[in-house]
Amino acid sequence: MNTPSACSVPRAVAALRRGEVIGLPTETVYGLAADAGNAQAVARVFALKQRPADHPLIVHLGSVAQLDAWARAVPEAARVLVARYWPGPLTLVLPRAARVLDAVTGGQDTVALRMPAHPLARAVLDAFGGALAAPSANRFGRISPTRPEHVRAEFGAAVPCVLDGGACAVGIESTILDLSRATPRILRPGAITRAMLEAALGVTVAAGADAAAPRVSGSLPAHYAPRTPLRLLPRAELLAQVGAPGVLVLGHGFALPPQAGLRLPTTAAGYAQALYAALRELDARGARVILVEQVPDAPEWAGVRDRLARAAAGAGAAD
């Protein structure tokens, strides 16, 4: 059996062809990747993650040429965005092609597609030749991994091949844009912002799931959560509790003694890149509660605000 340290692109591709699951670095987070066309391999992903069967996966493509093999009736808006933002942290929800497994879509008529930018992900996809179903490589509802050691800590020997791509550059999951209906709609915010999408398309883009929206990855109210209870507070309230027994603080823009918590960057991109690793570190310290400073209510912070709100909703819940 391969050890994590021995994993390489050829070993990863061989494992995928055997129907196994690998740890795959992307620019957003590390994925738990399997052959998207192999029902048994996809089932293994669900089992490892303890993921509900109706919670769809994102299919990762190796080239734009694969788009029409996995989606049908691809709208012009999708082609515009693919030309501008693929490879990159943008997932498009489109009408599914006949080949797509029900398990991948959660039984829906839509499929979520992305082309990752990380060079190791690209190398694996190029060598594999097919598409990969690759949700975040963590137990369902818990903190996403942004470093290879996070994946190893989650799954150990159950996922022996974890490619080491270093720390993820983006650090939160991709923006998910629904293009299966007339009005483009963001179902999960991320690094590709609403303003960027509107500038590319020249139309208004809606934000937030409506009643008819497809189910997508990361859309449940509680997600991305540490086991330690987590609360979001304005700075003044948070500062009053720095150093209190059993309290750890995650802030930005002010100094913190190391024993009291962690300080993250003041830019949205820098904060996002560091967020999940910081939450994992604080969660491992065994505090009574993690207090997180509220982040700015600005468009570029939408992805971070979304992840923190869902983390707070799910934090402390039993596995």
Task: Please state the residue numbers annotated as binding site.
Answer: 28, 51, 60, 110, 114, 134, 136, 144, 174, 188, 224
Return the number of other C-beta atoms located less than 10 Å from residue 314's C-beta: 20
Prior bond to 56 cis, omega within 30? Answer: no
**Residue 114 and residue 93: Cα distance in Å, rounded?**
9
Collapse the DSSP code of 150 into the 3-class scheme (helix H, G, I; strand E, B; otherwise coil) and give the result. helix
Residue 249 is inside which H or E element, if any? strand 247-252
Q: Which residues are annotated as a binding site for ATP?
A: 51, 110, 136, 144, 188, 224
Q: How many CB atoms lie within 10 A of CB 8?
A: 14
Q: Give just the sign of the alpha carbon dihedral 138, 162, 94, 199.
A: positive
> Is the preceding peptide bond at 135 cis, omega within 30 degrees of 0?
no
Residues facing residue 94 across a β-bridge: 111
- Three-class secondary structure of residue 75 per DSSP: coil
Q: Which residue has the tokens 């006949």?
A: 98
Contact 238, 293 (CB under 8 A): yes
Determine the Cα–Cα distance for residues 36 and 133; give it in Å rounded to an integer: 5
| Known binding residues for L-threonine | 28, 60, 114, 134, 174
Backbone angles phi, psi at 232, to 5 degrees: -100, 130
3 state SS of 113: strand
